[in-house]
Amino acid sequence: MSQPRATKVLVIGYVWPEPRSSAASGHVMQILETFLQQGWDITFSSPAGIGEHKADLAELGIREVPIELNNSSFDAFVSDLAPDIVLFDQFMMEEQFGWRVEKHCPTALRVLETSDLQSLRHARHQRLKDRLKASDDANDFSELFAPALGEEFELMADTDLAKREIAALYRCDLNLMISEVEIELLVEQFKLPRQLLHWCPLMLDPITQPFTPFEDRAHFLSIGNFRHAPNWDAVLWMKTTLWPLIRQQLPGAQLHIYGAYTPPKATALHNPSQGFHVMNWAEDALQVMSAARICLAPLRFGAGIKGKIVDAMLCGTPNITTPIGAEGMSAGQPWPGAIGETAAALADAAVARYNDKALWLESQEHGRRLINERYRQQVHGPALIERLAYCRDNLDHIRSHNFIGSMLRHHAHKSTQYMAQWIEAKNRVSS
């Protein structure tokens, strides 16, 4: 008796995954590993160039196929592959390739992995810029962290980015959301049907190993891809305001800042006499995190959930962050460190946990409990597979009850199709 055919999955990535460089890529890898556990046949494609820290997908048994934007060669490729599920990594890939997938593989389940709500992150960035123009107070940013969902909606609603992103969510059969806060924003304010959304946070194994002891750790650490604007802004705030406040209380303290793709503007901040060390990329982020006593993550804007904070919890390293950094992560459980809205509050909390072993151990235990109760792969992996199976079995029903998505596909995909064909014809003539 013949074996049933393995489910075919095509993942279209905005970039090739670099899990040691960004939390977004780490989340994509967790999803891929969940699919591999099912024995699914996976192809990963991207129009992006190869980054220097790219994961070796082929070693995992995943085919790697480069693709091109605005090129009909994709049509033949996707027709021949005939995937059962197409996962778009970030909404721009749905914009570029969604109409081609719908045309050539109409029965394929179309899923969007959002990473974070980019229009929310950009709106918050603009709010920070406005605040910096309006006031030279570099300490208190509490007004940035207070808005209700309705106020967030007001910030986003008129932006082109939000209109593009929300349209892409409507056009897909299912959207994977990493933050429950963003789910509520989409449902309550943008009126997106809840059935189009699935909570898929970071998926991790329980923490069972002992942590590096308090006495064997030293220094403060901050880590994050420098290409990600919230991380660079946090570095600047630490350099100008937060770190000097910590050094006032701990004159011999050191801050080690790690990040992929370190630009010259970051290395220019390196100043050992101030204890401010820009260390470039960490070969093993968990190793350097485990050697640090405190993780600093003073994010003044952003979205999604923060991989650096999850890494800190995995390593038993208390973290000091803002309400933006903690958003969507704890569901009311005790925070594994401290949350502050001013540089002074963050500095005081960081110094207190650096010096007080009992307080440090308490924060560490909060992190262990949070990971083991909220981010278990054994829970979220099967839930994702079950949701995908339900959507595949009920695809006609899902699409018939998503008229707005159907309408948006009709109009947007036609315009995207004609633009892509025009660009391809133009490129053909110019070459």
10-residue stretch averages of pLDDT, the chain, 431 residues long: 79 92 87 97 96 89 95 95 97 95 96 95 96 94 88 94 97 97 96 97 94 97 92 96 98 94 92 94 90 98 94 97 95 95 98 98 97 96 98 96 91 65 68 63
- Residue 43 CA, chain-centre distance (Å), reads 21
**DSSP alpha helix (H) spans, 60-207:** 73-81, 91-104, 118-134, 149-156, 160-171, 180-188
Q: Are residues 257 and 241 in the same domain?
A: yes
Q: Are residues 348 and 400 in the same domain?
A: no
Using the Cα atoms of residue 351, residue 373, residue 208 and residue 308 in order, give the sign of their dihedral: negative
pTM attached to this predicted model: 0.92
- Residue 107 CB-density burial (10 A; 0-12 exposed, 13-18 middle, 19+ buried): exposed
Domain boundaries, position 287: 214-374
Q: Are residues 325 and 387 in the same domain?
A: no
Count of domains for the chain = 2
Q: Are residues 235 and 364 in the same domain?
A: yes
- Residue 161 CB-density burial (10 A; 0-12 exposed, 13-18 middle, 19+ buried): middle
pLDDT of residue 1: 47
CATH (domain of 87): 3.40.50.2000
Instruction: Tell me which of 326, 343, 374 is where a domain ends.
Output: 374
pLDDT of residue 147: 78
* Residue (of 198, 202, 243) closest to 219 by Cα position: 243
Per-position b or e across 250-283, b if 16+ CB within 10 A of its CB: eeebbbbbbbbbbeeebeebeeeeebbbbbebbe
Instruction: Decide if 162 contacts 123 (C-beta within 8 A).
Output: yes
pLDDT of residue 330: 92
Distance CA 122, CA 156 (A): 8
Distance CA 19, CA 17 (A): 6
Q: What is the DSSP letter of 132?
A: H
Residues found in the chain: 431
> Greatest CA span in the chain, whole angstroms?
74
Q: Are residues 358 and 420 in the same domain?
A: no
Q: Are residues 112 and 250 in the same domain?
A: no
Q: Is residue 34 included in any domain, yes or no?
A: yes
Q: Is residue 171 included in any domain, yes or no?
A: yes
Q: Are residues 308 and 185 in the same domain?
A: no
Q: Is residue 140 included in any domain, yes or no?
A: no
Distance CA 207, CA 313 (A): 9
Please give the C-alpha separations between residue 203 and each of 8, 41, 52, 300, in angstroms, as whole numbers. 22, 21, 25, 25
Q: Are residues 381 and 256 in the same domain?
A: no
Q: Are residues 324 and 257 in the same domain?
A: yes
Instruction: Tell me which of 356, 374, 392 is where a domain ends.
Output: 374
